[in-house]
A and B are shown apart, each in its own frame.
Chain A
């Protein structure tokens, strides 16, 4: 089955800097890759997703890149703000079923 690895487990950046979180997956059939943001005690919220027919997607300060050949995808947050502090999860699935999640990255943005 699918296995998703996520790095780093913790990330601390200064406000205004960029943050990059990387994930690798094992099943070449996976075609849907969402990223979720989870604040303490709250539910995960989708922030961006990418499908396997696209190499990059951007939404304001957030971007995701996908390298199908290498089976890895990354989340890029530019101009970070303190409210970006949260745990971020990547995931991989085939058609959004049987989703496999990474272990999460705790991002801290220092003012």
Chain B
């Protein structure tokens, strides 16, 4: 559990506002991931990054943006273009090694629209 932190735990967004969710890890993991969780739909991949300054879109990248300026940090911005942002957002990270390593999840951020 320890080593991946997300903040804030709850976030409220006003219409037309961009908000940024924080994800930090001190596990020296190479890859980081952002997922969105809606009731009854499991987890869907938004973006992932395997190396600093590089990232790839997942299934539902529209309306979101990310950056990976440091290995430890992978913030997610929910832009005003995301029309239905209310969800539970989970960040994950893993070590890239010869064997396939597990993804470890952060505690999540619940985003609500005012």
| Chain A binding surface SS class | strand
Residues of B near any A CB (own CB < 8 A): 1, 31, 33, 35, 40-45, 48, 50, 56, 58-59, 90, 94, 100-108
Given A96-B94, A96-B100: A43 and B106 within 8 A (CB)? yes
Tell me if B43 and A98 are in contact (CB < 8 A): no
Cβ-defined partner of A46 (8 Å) among B44, B45, B102: B102
Cβ-defined partner of B43 (8 Å) among A1, A9, A44, A97: A44
Tell me if A101 and B102 are in contact (CB < 8 A): no
Q: Size of chain A's interface in residues, with CB distance under 8 A? A: 26
Residues of B within 8 A of A103 (CB): 40-42
Residues of A near any B CB (own CB < 8 A): 1, 6, 9, 31-32, 34, 36, 42-46, 49, 51, 89, 91, 95-104
